[in-house]
Amino acid sequence: MDLMAEKEPILSSFLYASILAHDCLEQALAFVLANRLQNPTLLATQLMDIFSNVMMHDRDIQRSIRLDVQAFIDRDPACLSYSSALLYLKGYHSLQSYRVAHALWKQGRNVLALALQSRISEVFGVDIHPAAKIGDGILLDHGTGVVIGETAVVGNRVSLMHGVTLGGTGKETGDRHPKVGDLALLGACVTILGNIKIGEGAMIAAGSLVLKHVPPQSMVAGTPAQVIGSIDEQDPSLTMNHDATKEFFKHLAVSFRDGRSK
Amino acid sequence: MDLMAEKEPILSSFLYASILAHDCLEQALAFVLANRLQNPTLLATQLMDIFSNVMMHDRDIQRSIRLDVQAFIDRDPACLSYSSALLYLKGYHSLQSYRVAHALWKQGRNVLALALQSRISEVFGVDIHPAAKIGDGILLDHGTGVVIGETAVVGNRVSLMHGVTLGGTGKETGDRHPKVGDLALLGACVTILGNIKIGEGAMIAAGSLVLKHVPPQSMVAGTPAQVIGSIDEQDPSLTMNHDATKEFFKHLAVSFRDGRSK
Amino acid sequence: MDLMAEKEPILSSFLYASILAHDCLEQALAFVLANRLQNPTLLATQLMDIFSNVMMHDRDIQRSIRLDVQAFIDRDPACLSYSSALLYLKGYHSLQSYRVAHALWKQGRNVLALALQSRISEVFGVDIHPAAKIGDGILLDHGTGVVIGETAVVGNRVSLMHGVTLGGTGKETGDRHPKVGDLALLGACVTILGNIKIGEGAMIAAGSLVLKHVPPQSMVAGTPAQVIGSIDEQDPSLTMNHDATKEFFKHLAVSFRDGRSK
Amino acid sequence: MDLMAEKEPILSSFLYASILAHDCLEQALAFVLANRLQNPTLLATQLMDIFSNVMMHDRDIQRSIRLDVQAFIDRDPACLSYSSALLYLKGYHSLQSYRVAHALWKQGRNVLALALQSRISEVFGVDIHPAAKIGDGILLDHGTGVVIGETAVVGNRVSLMHGVTLGGTGKETGDRHPKVGDLALLGACVTILGNIKIGEGAMIAAGSLVLKHVPPQSMVAGTPAQVIGSIDEQDPSLTMNHDATKEFFKHLAVSFRDGRSK
Amino acid sequence: MDLMAEKEPILSSFLYASILAHDCLEQALAFVLANRLQNPTLLATQLMDIFSNVMMHDRDIQRSIRLDVQAFIDRDPACLSYSSALLYLKGYHSLQSYRVAHALWKQGRNVLALALQSRISEVFGVDIHPAAKIGDGILLDHGTGVVIGETAVVGNRVSLMHGVTLGGTGKETGDRHPKVGDLALLGACVTILGNIKIGEGAMIAAGSLVLKHVPPQSMVAGTPAQVIGSIDEQDPSLTMNHDATKEFFKHLAVSFRDGRSK
Amino acid sequence: MDLMAEKEPILSSFLYASILAHDCLEQALAFVLANRLQNPTLLATQLMDIFSNVMMHDRDIQRSIRLDVQAFIDRDPACLSYSSALLYLKGYHSLQSYRVAHALWKQGRNVLALALQSRISEVFGVDIHPAAKIGDGILLDHGTGVVIGETAVVGNRVSLMHGVTLGGTGKETGDRHPKVGDLALLGACVTILGNIKIGEGAMIAAGSLVLKHVPPQSMVAGTPAQVIGSIDEQDPSLTMNHDATKEFFKHLAVSFRDGRSK
């Protein structure tokens, strides 16, 4: 941080004000998010108060914001430091803003939660209903175009690329959105519709349209998506999953082509 | 409204100023949109004047903004009240902002119409050319990533999910964009290219790429999209179409898988 | 310009300040971009200084911003004048902002380059890593949802529609993103993943998922994408490519359907 | 106006938006004042609504804003046109803003009236209690430092230079501020304290401290102020008063010096 | 407060956010001042952090902000409630902002203290050097034009009207500004120059120029000021002083006139 | 500067951006003033362009801004460095902003010059007509309340305290404001009215009202002002004048009192 500030004086005050001036990650994050989300009808100072109050008193969020930043460090090769995630990553910012909106929703402050959802969607292009439930250790990369519906559930250590949709399939107001298991990897522009299960550790190839349940540890691809393989590891750790990604995609390409040439 | 304001004092003034302080929906909407679209080169007060003038004197827009808000109430299960559509739904806001740009375009004020298009695209991530023609009773859900070209035509009571493209196919400047019939449903991330017809009441599955005409009352899916079924109702009402959505997608998934397993 | 200003007095000062008040394209562009990208932590005046300094001293950027604007005039039928590209096209603005971030990255000012990337992604919904290399004469149409990774390379006179992803396939930090040859055309919502080559003059149909090398002058489509034809011209010029686009897409639709019906 | 806009393109849009775009003086003034008084807790759009509503329905204000602008034209030699008063004169702006606050006060909207007083004092350095009563045809020149208390009354066609105080003399809450008659001229930095009468057509020399009643048509000066002469005209018209100003001051200087040399 | 909010919905959110949303006066004041003093180079969020940190840890300021608000209630008849002082009184706001700047100055943060002085002078028209020492229970009424120099000292329970100057008399850098005793009353536009003493409980008439020491309990007036009477009370309490004000001024006017007529 | 930045990281970016990032004083000043004077109808970037263009091409202003900053260093004991004048002194900022408005007025750009005057008066509380002529080496201390009329002329190395008025005396539009000779010192809240001469090196005591010519090297005081002494030095240098200030005021007090006791 000090090194960053020294190297780029134009940003040094912002870096200082965002990070070094605060005692804890919660205050720093409240400062950064308030400045990104403010507009004429939501003052930065009001937002900083709201975010700070929620984050200083909610143990779940305190754990989540730490596990999420670690997810970026571990899984996004372009993310080189904790401070760059905190300061600049739109995916991380939209996720933590949703977490505050979700906490407000649970407190019954629905109007404010929906106002935040609206503003998050405008600023980051990420539209997550505040009633959706999202676990810890999430990588939400780039973020643009992500849509997650009201009754969606996302497990722990899931990775979501940009353009992912967890949508409903119609007009009913009940439980109508996907349930994504721990450790799943949802590629760019994946669309998952309806109250279906994505099993633990499943991998959904980029651009897939998923309309039915996906077994744990399976690889699926296509529109509509089909199972094209499985992951052999008995106990696929998070890291391994990600090391395997490239292989997965090569495999996927081959499977698909071969499958069709039959 | 009063209840909302009472429950969330942080937002009560905005709720009041947006809705209760105005005599009519047009003024309220002009107020809300002006505050969302303002930037250093388009003052909120100028925008409020422009929006108010257009909406107070254009019967078509007055009808459209009412039928559109009803479409959100009827078809978006997460939209619980008229006021929440008016205040917070990005899809509704981008659609009404386009309607003003379109009215200006028809008056020959092309420069201002294009300036608005540019700003709407920046703020909402929705890029609709002001010359495009869009009917009434439209549900534009979430909105992020929607692109609608200059010569596109969209009928009445159409639903468009986020990520829908109604694009051209090349360099010519003539009539080159899709014509979408009444009551059609375009799923998330559907791409429709060229001067082709989407028949009345057609359903396009999420993620489809459509490059040729689609018959009325048919269901299509895939990249490129193929007809996978039809809708039996003699007189499919708007509501029924939407109630049928879930069935449709289940059907779709089955059709596709079976079709390929042959 | 004078005509535009005369017709629309509400915008005349902005048109004047943006274009006529400046001696050269570089200053005009610095003015326009600074006003679009400013926020509470990046003053418009600071940004104008930074952009102006980079663009006034970098021959490469001076050439690029001219060839790019020409690309919009030549290839985007909705772009009617140089000034409308300069003033209002989000794709053009995000591309030139990236060029400044890239120049700063090459000077070793990584922190500022990443801050700009973050802000460009927020304002325009276009996320280009400042280390990526992009040639001249680029058409980046609409822009929303575009993601281009750290080690991606894009040649000259390439056209990229909205929603294009040039992504990586895993966790490694080395060379992991696509290399796109000159004159290629990447349709809307195309996803290209991994360190693969897209040959010169290749055409990728909208919505395709590309996971392996694509030969020069070939047409590919589908998820995952397959070669569905080739471009016959011995010396396909840029203009011809684009004139051929419509034919290509018709051809594509036919090939695909026939291929599958076998 | 058109000429002004033509000559200075940087301001042409503001001139247009402020004046030519509006049907009536009331709307134009509401636009100008809303943009000057806005801050993060009082949106420009809210202020424009409030100002417009008050001014469109209050005949007294409609007359006052016209007679006041005429006063600037007639009596301020540096004010060359109606539009320059409307656009740029701080004294005129602070006076009309007070008039709106006064109207709100009379409607019983004391909280909003006091909020406006506070903001007017911050922006213009002019602190007028909304309960004070001020007549028509007022010239409030420059304005900085003017303070007018709660129970002060100012007649018609009065001129107040900058730095004038119409203050109270203690703690009581009753009627405790000056009553200034029609046609009086209060020079720069004049301080008048207590519930005393300044007679019609009286002239108070710059820098005077006035603590007791001043007879009509008299000239007073000094700290504390004493009568130093009278105005002979049987029927001193407004214009004549002002033509006499220079003479008055010469006379004043002589009187004073002579008075003291005794 | 609740009553105020109920009566004026346009301001209710601001009233809520400013007062009811905070646990203590310090936080409320930090919120209000941050929003008034913010500008493009001093973010509202930074200012709220700075003000909050200083006020939450400085017992002296905590006492001062309470005694000062009481002074407004006790001595300014136009100040009807604690909340109106907190929300809207420029004199109170500029005084408390100075107190923070003074605390920063004592901590050795001179650069930030001077930056605040500069901003306070711009926003409120009140220019107090952060090194000046000012006691508790101060009424700074209206505020516009007040200037207080680097080595000035002001005792407790002093009242300063607008336009008061406590200035130096030349170029030396040592102790060169006035020392004002407890309970003194400085009328509007009083100028006191040089390192001189204003005795306890002295009253300086509006518009006076004071260039030499003023004895305790004396009344002075004129340019330059002379003693024109004394205050008989053995133990003049603060309240009585102020009740006596009107009498004082009447007396003053008589004394002066008579003194001169000799 | 570097030291300042190091000590106060919250301000370091502003200090850097304001001073170190620019090649010359003109650019630095254009940056600082543009950020202070910006509002919704005058963009910071436009102002920076305007100020920079004027200052980079006007030799007179280039000399003035240097001689003026030296005047603050030499004569204002609270001004400790060049950078603090440049960054924070309202008097210096309002003076340099006037200089740009004056240059524009001379170029015939009257509309823009008056717009700047209006904005300078709002932001700084300093109202100087752009047609007024002001020499070099001016100390304008604090600034609040200063008013200088259209035909006023101020010589070189003059010092003006806050609250100084150089006003007219009536309605005529001709040459009607004071002419102040070189090296004069105008104390706080001095009011000078009419087309009269203030001789070289004259000293006007604080709070004086001056209505007739003042001889060179004389001391005047009172309302109306009378000569109370002279300055003996054959060749009073600027520095000596200021060293003599304190003595002057002591002398003044004595003279006055004695004069009256006769």
Which chain D residue has its CA at the smallest distance from B44's CA?
A: D45
CATH number for the domain spanning E36: value is 1.10.3130.10
Cα–Cα separations (whole angstroms), residue E248 to C14, E103, E181, E219, F95: 59, 36, 19, 8, 41
Least Cα distance to F140 among D126, E147, D79, D90 occurs for E147
Q: Which pLDDT belongs to residue D84?
A: 84
Q: Which pLDDT belongs to residue F239?
A: 42
Of E112, E114, E207, the CB nearest to F10: E112
Per-residue pLDDT tens digits for D144-188: 999 999 999 999 999 999 999 999 976 567 899 999 999 999 999
C2 touches chain D (CB under 8 A): no
Are B34 and D49 within 8 A, CB to CB?
Answer: no
Once rounded to an integer, what is the mean pLDDT over residues A215-239?
A: 76
Residues C156 and C182: beta-carbon distance below 8 Å: yes
Is the pLDDT higher at E206 or at E7? E206
Query: Which range, of B198-202, D192-196, D223-227, averages the lowest pLDDT?
Result: D223-227
Residues F56, F173, single domain; the answer is no
Evaluated on CA atoms E51, E52, E58, E64, the torsion sign reads positive
ipTM above 0.95, yes or no: no
Q: Give B169's pLDDT tier (boundaries 50, 70, 90).
A: confident
Most confident of A195-199, A230-234, F231-235: A195-199
Least Cα distance to D208 among D230, D195, D190, D220 occurs for D190
Are C44 and F45 within 8 A, CB to CB?
Answer: yes
pLDDT higher than 90, residue C253: no
Once rounded to an integer, what is the mean pLDDT over residues A216-224?
A: 91
Give the rounded percent of residues in chain A with a pLDDT score beyond 70.
85
Per-residue pLDDT tens digits for D41-86: 889 999 999 999 999 999 999 999 999 999 998 888 888 788 888 8
Between CA F72 and CA D175 the distance in angstroms is 46
Q: Which pLDDT belongs to residue B234?
A: 45
Which chain C residue has its CA at the smallest distance from E38's CA?
A: C40
Q: Which pLDDT belongs to residue B249?
A: 46
Residues A18 and A1: beta-carbon distance below 8 Å: no
A109 touches chain B (CB under 8 A): yes
Residues D151, D67, single domain; the answer is no
Between CA B82 and CA B98 the distance in angstroms is 20
B40 touches chain F (CB under 8 A): yes
Please count the CA atoms within 13 angstroms of the CA of A210 that sit on its side-chain side: 33
Q: Which pLDDT belongs to residue E2?
A: 54
A145 touches chain B (CB under 8 A): yes
Smallest CA–CA separation between D93 and chain C, in Å? 23
Q: Give E80's pLDDT tier (boundaries 50, 70, 90).
A: confident
pLDDT higher than 90, residue B245: no
Task: Please report all neighbours of A, defined by 3+ CB atom pairs within 8 A.
Answer: B, C, D, E, F
Between CA C91 and CA C37 the distance in angstroms is 14
Residue E227 phi, psi (nearest 5): -70, 130
- Which residues in chain F belong to E strands, given as ranges? 127-128, 133-134, 139-140, 147-148, 153-154, 159-160, 165-167, 179-180, 185-186, 191-193, 197-198, 203-204, 209-210, 218-221, 226-230
Between CA B89 and CA B72 the distance in angstroms is 9
pLDDT higher than 60, residue F151: yes
pLDDT higher than 50, residue F240: no
Helix (H, G, I), strand (E, B) or coil at B153: strand
Are E257 and D117 within 8 A, CB to CB?
Answer: no
Q: Give B243's pLDDT tier (boundaries 50, 70, 90).
A: very low
Most confident of B67-81, D208-222, E168-182: D208-222
Q: Which residue has the tokens 């890291």?
A: A239
Are A45 and E45 within 8 A, CB to CB?
Answer: yes
Evaluated on CA atoms B44, C38, C31, C118, the torsion sign reads negative
Smallest CA–CA separation between C142 and chain D, in Å? 28
Residues E164, E86, single domain; the answer is no
Residues C3, C94, single domain; the answer is yes
Tokens read off for B135: 């009917």
Give exposure, B85-95, as e/b (b: 16+ Cβ within 10 Å).
bbbbbbbbbbb
Which chain F residue has its CA at the smallest distance from C31's CA?
A: F45
Q: Going by C-beta distance under 8 Å and a sequence separation of 6 or more, which residues neighbour residue F197?
A: F178, F179, F181, F213, F214
Tokens read off for E127: 């220019």
Give exposure, B44-71, as e/b (b: 16+ Cβ within 10 Å).
bbbbbbbbbbbbeebeebeebbeebbbb
Contacts of F84 in chain E (CB under 8 A): 114
Helix (H, G, I), strand (E, B) or coil at C128: strand
Residues C142, C249, single domain; the answer is yes
Query: What are the residues facing A229 on neighbouring strands?
Result: A219
Between CA C149 and CA C151 the distance in angstroms is 6
CATH number for the domain spanning B239: value is 2.160.10.10
Q: Which pLDDT belongs to residue A239?
A: 42
Q: Which residue has the tokens 């001696």?
A: C23
User: For residue B118, what is the DSSP state?
Assistant: H
Residues F138, F258, single domain; the answer is yes
Residue F173 phi, psi (nearest 5): -105, 0
Give the rounded percent of residues in chain E with a pLDDT score beyond 90.
65
Domain count, chain E: 2
Are F35 and C43 within 8 A, CB to CB?
Answer: yes
Residues A42 and E52: beta-carbon distance below 8 Å: no
Contacts of A18 in chain F (CB under 8 A): none
Give exposure, A91-125, as e/b (b: 16+ Cβ within 10 Å).
bbbbbbbbbbbbbbbeeebbbbbbbbbbbbbbbbb
Give the rounded percent of residues in chain C with a pLDDT score beyond 90.
65
Per-residue pLDDT tens digits for F172-226: 678 999 999 999 999 999 999 999 999 999 999 999 999 999 999 999 998 889 9
Residues C219 and C228: beta-carbon distance below 8 Å: yes
Between CA C186 and CA C202 the distance in angstroms is 8
Which chain F residue has its CA at the smallest distance from D251's CA?
A: F211
Smallest CA–CA separation between E46 and chain A, in Å? 7
E17 touches chain A (CB under 8 A): yes
CA angle C173, C176, C180 (to 5 degrees): 150
Of F46, F111, F169, the CB nearest to D245: F169
Q: Which residue has the tokens 């606050």?
A: D101
Smallest CA–CA separation between F225 and chain D, in Å? 9
Tokens read off for E191: 């100028």
Question: Which of A35, A38, A39, A41 to mutate to probe the D interface, most D CBs <10 Å?
Answer: A41
Between CA C172 and CA D136 the distance in angstroms is 77
Q: Which pLDDT belongs to residue F3?
A: 60
Tokens read off for D8: 């200075």
Query: What are the residues facing B243 on neighbouring strands?
Result: none
Between CA F25 and CA D238 the distance in angstroms is 50
Give the 3-state secondary structure of E171-207.
Answer: CCCCCCCCEECCCCEECCCCEEECCCEECCCCEECCC
Between CA B210 and CA B83 the distance in angstroms is 35
Per-residue pLDDT tens digits for B59-109: 999 999 999 999 998 888 888 788 888 899 999 999 999 999 999 999 999
Contacts of E112 in chain F (CB under 8 A): 8, 10-11
Of A112, A147, A207, the CB nearest to B162: A147
Q: Going by C-beta distance under 8 Å and a sequence separation of 6 or more, which residues neighbour residue A191?
A: A164, A165, A167, A208, A209, A210, B188, B189, B206, B207
Residues E90 and E143: beta-carbon distance below 8 Å: yes
Q: Which pLDDT belongs to residue C261?
A: 32
Least Cα distance to A235 among A190, A177, A183, A161 occurs for A183
Smallest CA–CA separation between A123 and chain C, in Å? 6
Cα–Cα separations (whole angstroms), residue E110 to A226, C131, E171, F4: 67, 41, 21, 9
Q: Which pLDDT belongs to residue B219?
A: 92
Are C207 and B211 within 8 A, CB to CB?
Answer: no
Residues D104, D147, single domain; the answer is no
pTM of the model: 0.90
Amino acid at C49: D
Q: Which of F78, F106, F125 is the last residue of a domain?
A: F125
F40 touches chain A (CB under 8 A): no
Q: Which pLDDT belongs to residue E13?
A: 77
Helix (H, G, I), strand (E, B) or coil at C247: helix
Please count the CA atoms within 13 angstroms of the CA of C208 that sit on its side-chain side: 29
Once rounded to an integer, what is the mean pLDDT over residues F241-250?
A: 42
Contacts of D260 in chain F (CB under 8 A): 226
Per-residue pLDDT tens digits for B119-161: 999 999 999 999 999 999 999 999 999 999 999 999 999 999 9
Residues E154, E252, single domain; the answer is yes
Q: Which of D76, D104, D125 is the last residue of a domain?
A: D125
A14 touches chain F (CB under 8 A): yes
Give exposure, D206-226, as e/b (b: 16+ Cβ within 10 Å).
bbbbbbbebebbbbbbbbbbb
Are A49 and E43 within 8 A, CB to CB?
Answer: no
Q: Which of A73, A105, A125 is the last residue of a domain?
A: A125
Residues E122, E26, single domain; the answer is yes
Q: Give C181's pLDDT tier (boundaries 50, 70, 90).
A: very high
Please count the CA atoms within 13 angstroms of the CA of C231 that sit on its side-chain side: 32
Once rounded to an integer, what is the mean pLDDT over residues B216-231?
A: 89
Let me know if F251 is exposed, middle or buried by CB neighbors in 10 A (0-12, 13-18, 19+): middle
CB atoms within 10 A of CB D189: 31
pLDDT higher than 70, residue A122: yes
Residues D167, D93, single domain; the answer is no
Which chain B residue has its CA at the smallest distance from E8's CA?
A: B13
Range of the domain at B191: 132-262
Task: Please report all neighbours of E, defined by 3+ CB atom pairs within 8 A.
Answer: A, B, C, D, F
Residues E15, E45, single domain; the answer is yes
Residues F165, F262, single domain; the answer is yes
Secondary structure (DSSP) of D100-135: HHHHHHHTT-HHHHHHHHHHHHHHHS-EE-TT-EE-
